[in-house]
């Protein structure tokens, strides 16, 4: 299925896509020079309000471990090499015989638990705020939308437990979460989605890693286009899930990754993938303080991250 998606990506001409360019999305409401999109919603006041949600001090690591076996969208991969520079044949360095290890990473940023930046997805080679690919993309790093531009995300997090909603451990691939489903789950859990929130979906999908990687890679349940528009209308900063691609796959329409296009390209809303939401769902922790400070690698498109939820 994943290879079919890749083939479709290469074959589909966005000029004929149902979500082709229109003037309304080419200009950001935050101005022609804006590079951070929905992160503009983040304020000190929201961080203070999020801190008030902390009652027990319990922390949840939302990132999964990243290694050579981590399932990833082809051709992405990851390898770590441990070296002892300048120490070959020596008991150590200097009079005290000091020894040390360093690590070299040969891998993609879009693997494991990751943050998708605004330079990741475009439509007809046009990206967020009307920026054309050739004006900002460079092999040495993006000249705009680099992951280093994303400010620390400290705000209220909301978990929507879709597995509980459907009464299953793992939601079936292709199941789309749209406005009706989102509103139903939020009402059932007694939470309200507000401007500046980070919204995470729990589907149980991530539990397939290491057990059934073939199924994990072949599809997933996730956000639908209507659901994406609904959350954008709420003014959320980012949307994430315990899946590799956030959105429902097989896709709802012939379009390729339409939710990515809706969130990133059209609205500057960030995406968090492979979020480890199981413990939050088990504790029924439906709202919490969300904290993310990604590695600020200049010009990077994405970042491997380990956000922390605190309640």
Over the stretch 261-291, which tens digit does the pLDDT of each residue have? Answer: 999 999 999 999 999 999 999 999 999 999 9
pLDDT over 70 (residue 229): yes
As a whole number, mean pLDDT of residues 125-142 equals 97
Residue bearing the bigger pLDDT, 158 or 12: 158
Report yes or no on whether pTM surpasses 0.85.
Answer: yes
Task: Give the pLDDT score at 12.
Answer: 41
- Give the contacts of 107 (CB within 8 A, at least 6 positions apart): 76, 77, 78, 79, 80
Question: Is the dihedral angle over the CA atoms 138, 140, 144, 146 positive or is it negative?
Answer: positive
Task: Give the pLDDT score at 23.
Answer: 63
CA–CA dist 194, 50 (Å, integer): 12
Domain around 191:
2-78+108-310
Instruction: Considering only CA atoms, give the Rg of the chain.
Output: 20
State the CATH number of the domain containing residue 124.
3.50.30.50
As a whole number, mean pLDDT of residues 240-248 equals 98
pLDDT over 60 (residue 8): no
Q: What is the average pLDDT value for the chain, to the nearest integer?
A: 93
234 located within any domain: yes
91 located within any domain: no
pLDDT-derived band of residue 19, with 50, 70 and 90 as boundaries? Answer: very low
C-alpha dist (Å) from residue 278 to 128, 176, 203, 217, 274:
32, 20, 9, 19, 11
State percent of the chain over pLDDT 90.
Answer: 92
120 located within any domain: yes
As a whole number, mean pLDDT of residues 130-138 equals 97
How many CA atoms lie less than 13 Å away from 46 in the CB half-sphere?
21
Task: Give the pLDDT score at 21.
Answer: 46
CA–CA dist 267, 232 (Å, integer): 7
As a whole number, mean pLDDT of residues 142-157 equals 98
First to last CA, the chain: 38
As a whole number, mean pLDDT of residues 121-141 equals 97
As a whole number, mean pLDDT of residues 107-118 equals 97
Total structural domains in the chain?
A: 1
100 located within any domain: no
46 located within any domain: yes
- Give the contacts of 66 (CB within 8 A, at least 6 positions apart): 78, 111, 112, 113, 304
As a whole number, mean pLDDT of residues 105-128 equals 97
152 located within any domain: yes
Task: Give the pLDDT score at 17.
Answer: 45
pLDDT over 50 (residue 20): no
Residue written as token pair 């286009």: 225
**DSSP E strand stretches across 129-281:** 131-132, 153-161, 176-177, 198-202, 222-223, 238-241, 270-273
- Taking only the tens place, the pLDDT of each residue in 192-226 is 999 999 999 999 999 999 999 999 999 999 999 99
Residue written as token pair 């979500």: 19
State percent of the chain over pLDDT 70.
Answer: 93
β partners of residue 237: none
CA–CA dist 143, 4 (Å, integer): 32
How many other CB atoms are found less than 10 A from the CB of residue 134? 8
Closest CA to 268 of 239, 304, 290, 230: 239
- Report yes or no: 292 and 307 within 8 Å, Cβ to Cβ: yes
């Amino acid at each position: 299925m994943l290879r079919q998606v890749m083939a479709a990506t290469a074959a589909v001409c966005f000029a004929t896509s149902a979500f082709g360019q229109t003037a309304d999305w080419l200009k950001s409401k935050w101005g022609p020079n804006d590079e951070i999109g929905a992160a503009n919603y983040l304020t000190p006041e929201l961080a203070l309000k999020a801190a008030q949600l902390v009652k027990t001090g319990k922390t949840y690591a939302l990132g999964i471990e990243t290694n050579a076996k981590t399932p990833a969208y082809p051709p992405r991969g990851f390898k770590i090499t441990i070296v002892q520079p300048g120490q070959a044949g020596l008991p150590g360095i200097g009079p005290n015989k000091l020894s040390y290890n360093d690590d070299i990473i040969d891998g993609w940023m879009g693997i494991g638990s990751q943050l998708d930046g605004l330079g990741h997805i475009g439509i007809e080679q046009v990206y967020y705020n009307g920026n054309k690919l050739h004006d900002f993309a460079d092999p040495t790093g993006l000249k705009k939308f680099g992951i280093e531009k994303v400010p620390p995300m400290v705000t209220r997090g909301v978990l929507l437990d879709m597995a509980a909603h459907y009464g299953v451990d793992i939601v079936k691939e292709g199941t789309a979460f749209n406005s009706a489903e989102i509103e139903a789950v939020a009402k059932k859990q007694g939470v309200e989605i507000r401007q500046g929130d980070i919204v995470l979906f729990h589907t149980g999908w991530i539990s397939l890693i290491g057990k059934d990687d073939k199924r994990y890679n072949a599809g997933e349940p996730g956000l639908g286009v209507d659901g994406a528009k609904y959350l954008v209308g709420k003014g959320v900063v980012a949307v994430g899930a315990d899946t590799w691609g956030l959105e429902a796959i097989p896709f709802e329409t012939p379009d390729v990754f339409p939710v990515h296009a809706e969130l990133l390209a059209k609205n500057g809303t960030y995406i968090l993938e492979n979020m480890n939401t199981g413990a939050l769902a088990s504790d029924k922790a439906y709202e919490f303080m969300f904290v993310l400070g990604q590695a600020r690698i200049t010009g990077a498109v994405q970042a491997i991250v380990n956000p922390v939820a605190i309640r």
